């Protein structure tokens, strides 16, 4: 096979790739815009997610489709493969994927007054005697997703600071792939402690106080960049702008405002990539540990 034929083949591939990428934008009316989320944030959140996804389609004037997967890993794969255009992903998968295949930040929700940030809570059962994270040594602990910042990176960063790894520190740890599941696992005492996304916890405290009242927060991390909405790098600039505009103006639209209120989000804002530098730093620290960062969704067992 000669260079020309290689070039030719490459061109063909590129053309096909162009077609794949450009087609959704050009034949907008036929192809639905796919938006992916995980259940990591809140289980049983489907109805609210459908609402805002439908809202976006309505504003764009084209159909939208909600794609839901269990883990961030699966979402990252979908983004990389171009099977979805837009996704809600945690800051950690963002910084990994950005470095890996160059996805772009679209907007981020502002939940707290401080800005588009959130925290990682360490929670224990409400009647637990544990008051500090260090006291959870030798106990059962729950993480959410191995690619979750608040549900995994922040606690392993804490452990790294103590010169510990999860398997060395805890008697047993599990992945629930859901922050709300973490809250429930603590509430029913399946585990004796868990790390959860502050936005999810606060949302549950407002909507299901019976559940959160059986738990208590013993530690709150410093602020980190909140779970952003990302878009494939390959998506047309025009569509990117259109979508971004929908989100940024959502709080000014009555229907959009209603949806935001339900989601307990003040508004969507444009965020810089530097917002996630703290995550990059923690990742660097943790990766220096002898234990490789768990990128696979299988839990380890002591």
DSSP symbol at 272:
-
Residues 99-158 interacting with another protein (rule: CB under 8 A)? 140, 142
- Minimum CB distance to another protein smaller for 150 or for 176: 176
Contact 193, 165 (CB under 8 A): no
Question: Of the listed pieces 13-21, 49-57, 170-178, 205-213, which binds another protein according to CB under 8 A?
Answer: 170-178
Exactly one of 39, 76, 150, 176 binds another protein (CB under 8 A); which one? Answer: 176
What CA–CA distance (Å, rounded) separates 200 from 148? 13
When asked if residue 235 is in the footprint of another protein (CB under 8 A), the reply is no
- Minimum CB distance to another protein smaller for 108 or for 174: 174
When asked if residue 269 is in the footprint of another protein (CB under 8 A), the reply is no
What CA–CA distance (Å, rounded) separates 235 from 22? 8
Residues 42-101 interacting with another protein (rule: CB under 8 A)? none
- Minimum CB distance to another protein smaller for 11 or for 296: 296
**Burial of 205 per CB tally in 10 Å (0-12, 13-18, 19+):** middle
When asked if residue 210 is in the footprint of another protein (CB under 8 A), the reply is no
HSE toward the beta carbon, residue 276, CA cutoff 13 A: 27
Exactly one of 100, 171, 220, 255 binds another protein (CB under 8 A); which one? Answer: 171
User: Strands, DSSP E only, in the chain?
Assistant: 33-38, 64-69, 86-88, 104-110, 117-118, 120-125, 140-143, 172-175, 193-197, 215-220, 224-225, 229-231, 267-269
Question: Of the listed pieces 31-39, 49-57, 215-223, 293-301, which binds another protein according to CB under 8 A?
Answer: 293-301
Strand-pairing partners, residue 112, are 115
Question: What's the CA angle centered on 155, arms 154 and 158, to 5 degrees?
Answer: 90
Exactly one of 1, 27, 29, 298 binds another protein (CB under 8 A); which one? Answer: 298
Exactly one of 42, 136, 185, 286 binds another protein (CB under 8 A); which one? Answer: 185
What CA–CA distance (Å, rounded) separates 143 from 17? 38
Other C-beta atoms closer than 10 Å to the C-beta of 99 total 10
- Minimum CB distance to another protein smaller for 84 or for 185: 185
What CA–CA distance (Å, rounded) separates 86 from 263? 18
- Minimum CB distance to another protein smaller for 185 or for 271: 185
Q: How far is the CB of 181 from another protein (least distance, A)?
A: 6
Exactly one of 16, 19, 188, 206 binds another protein (CB under 8 A); which one? Answer: 188
What is the helix, strand, coil percentage profile of the chain, to 5? 50, 20, 35
| Per rule CB under 8 A, count of chain residues that contact another protein | 15
What CA–CA distance (Å, rounded) separates 214 from 121? 15
Exactly one of 44, 100, 189, 257 binds another protein (CB under 8 A); which one? Answer: 189
- Minimum CB distance to another protein smaller for 76 or for 128: 128
- Minimum CB distance to another protein smaller for 43 or for 253: 43
- What does the binding site for another protein look like in residue numbers (CB under 8 A)? 140, 142, 171-172, 174-176, 181, 185, 188-190, 298-299, 301
């Amino acid at each position: 096979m000669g260079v020309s034929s290689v070039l030719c083949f490459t061109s063909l591939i590129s053309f096909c790739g162009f077609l794949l990428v450009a087609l959704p934008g050009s034949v907008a009316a036929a192809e639905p815009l796919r938006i992916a989320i995980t259940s990591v944030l809140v289980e049983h959140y489907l109805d609210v997610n459908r609402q805002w996804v439908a809202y976006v389609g309505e504003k764009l004037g084209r159909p939208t489709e909600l794609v839901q997967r269990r883990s961030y890993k699966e979402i990252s794969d979908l983004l990389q493969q171009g099977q979805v255009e837009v996704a809600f992903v945690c800051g950690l998968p963002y910084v990994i994927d950005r470095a890996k295949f160059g996805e772009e930040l679209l907007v981020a929700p502002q939940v707290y007054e401080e800005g588009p940030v959130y925290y990682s809570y360490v929670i224990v059962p409400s009647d637990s005697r544990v008051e500090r994270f260090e006291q959870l040594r030798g106990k059962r602990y729950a993480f959410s997703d191995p690619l979750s910042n608040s549900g995994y990176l922040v606690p392993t960063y804490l452990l790294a600071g103590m010169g510990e790894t999860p398997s060395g520190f805890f008697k047993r740890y599990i992945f629930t792939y859901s922050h709300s599941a973490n809250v429930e696992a603590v509430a029913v005492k399946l585990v004796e402690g868990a790390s959860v996304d502050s936005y999810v916890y606060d949302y549950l405290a407002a909507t299901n106080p019976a559940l959160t009242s059986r738990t208590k927060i013993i530690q709150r991390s410093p602020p980190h960049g909140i779970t952003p909405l990302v878009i494939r790098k390959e998506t047309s600039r025009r569509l990117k702008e259109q979508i971004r505009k929908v989100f940024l103006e959502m709080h000014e639209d009555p229907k959009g405002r209603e949806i935001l209120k339900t989601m307990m989000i003040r508004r969507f804002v444009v965020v810089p990539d530097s917002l996630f530098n703290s995550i990059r730093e923690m990742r660097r620290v943790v990766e220096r540990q002898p234990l490789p960062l768990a990128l696979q969704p299988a839990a380890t067992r002591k």
